[in-house]
Amino acid sequence: MTEFTTKQAAESGHWYTRDADLVDQVEGKTTGRMRRPTVADARANGWLPGCTTIIRQAAAPALQRWSNKEHVKAATELGPPQEELPEHYFRRVNERASVVGREAAEIGSRIHGEIHSYLTRRIITASAVGIMSTVQTSVQDEWDRQVPDMPKVDFHWRSEDPVMHWLGYATKADLWSPARSGVLLDFKGKKSVDDFPDGLYDEHLMQLAATRTAIEHTHGKTIADCGIVFFSRLPGEAGLAKVVWADDEEVSRGGRMYRALLEYWQAKYRYDSGWEPHDNE
């Protein structure tokens, strides 16, 4: 029997059980050491790919441009190659450029954790308080726009909620509430407030669509309003954030794109991770 460890589903995860637990590591059959799971492990255990695994099947031009820029900056900082093979120099450049991405991911994960701790254990930080204040104001404004003078409600926020869908994927909802017609928000870190966008990319729409559908499957609750919360990773801008709301037609388009990528992924890896839904699902 395969030994494996699980933890709370996280955005960076790749494989989940059908209970939406993130599979963190598995025990190697020959070495006995713990390692990251593979597609073969998933097939053997009926595990599900995460949303980000599916979304990354599509090209991401903006991300590629950012990566190219960081590699050029790293090469400039390192200077010309020394007396070394080209592949050794490339490795040094790649390692230096990767530091920026790792640091950004670590800061983003920390702020995600602060928001979760604030909502579940009332651990107060400037980042969590500022971001959630922006979130609740923006949600209320969005609802007032739809129905003027709508009374304020207790959101009963659910943070980092693991959800799955019978089509064969799982993820975690950064933040959602069953209040009113339902609201779903996903958090994305930016270098500073100057980088906050006015619109959403296709990958944002796919993330929201897939998560919304998984919530509806897991909890039987429809979600009417979806958006992305962009927050600043700059220490001097702790707590500053902006909510960009997604049009329902665009989220529906994101759902069609996501399902096409999921089908592509399943065909590519010869692994149909889905199952037939039951009548009560």
Highest-confidence segment of 39-43, 99-103, 105-109, 211-215 = 211-215
pLDDT of 118 reads: 96
pLDDT at residue number 281: 52
82: left (phi over 0), alpha (psi -120 to 50) or beta: beta
Angle at CA of residue 56, ends 52 and 60, nearest 5°: 125
Give the Cα separation of 11 and 250 in Å (integer).
Answer: 22
The model's pLDDT over 65-97, given as tens digits with 9 standing for 90+, comes to 888 988 999 889 888 888 888 889 899 999 998
Task: Collect all residues with Cβ–Cβ distance below 8 Å to 167 and sequence separation of at least 6.
Answer: 213, 259, 262, 274
pTM: 0.87
Q: What is the pLDDT of residue 83?
A: 86
> Looking at 5-14, 48-57, 69-78, 227-236, which range is the least confident one?
5-14
pLDDT in tens, 118-145: 999 999 999 999 999 999 999 999 988 8
Which residue matches tokens 């050491």? Answer: 33
Q: Could you give the domains of the chain? A: 4-54 (no CATH), 55-268 (3.90.320)
Joined tokens for residue 98 = 């990767």
Phi and psi dihedrals of 262, rounded to 5? -65, -45
Q: Measure Cα distances from 40 to 31, 55, 235 in Å.
A: 17, 20, 42
What average pLDDT does the segment 30-56 reach? Answer: 92
% the chain with pLDDT above 70: 94
pLDDT value for 190 = 95
Determine the average pLDDT of the residues in 49-74: 90
Q: Please, which pLDDT band fits residue 6 given cuts at 50, 70 and 90?
A: very low
Q: Is pLDDT above 60 for 10?
A: no
Task: Report which of residues 270 and 281 the model is more confident about.
Answer: 270
Nearest by Cα to 215 from 250, 176, 181:
176
Mean pLDDT, the chain, integer: 90
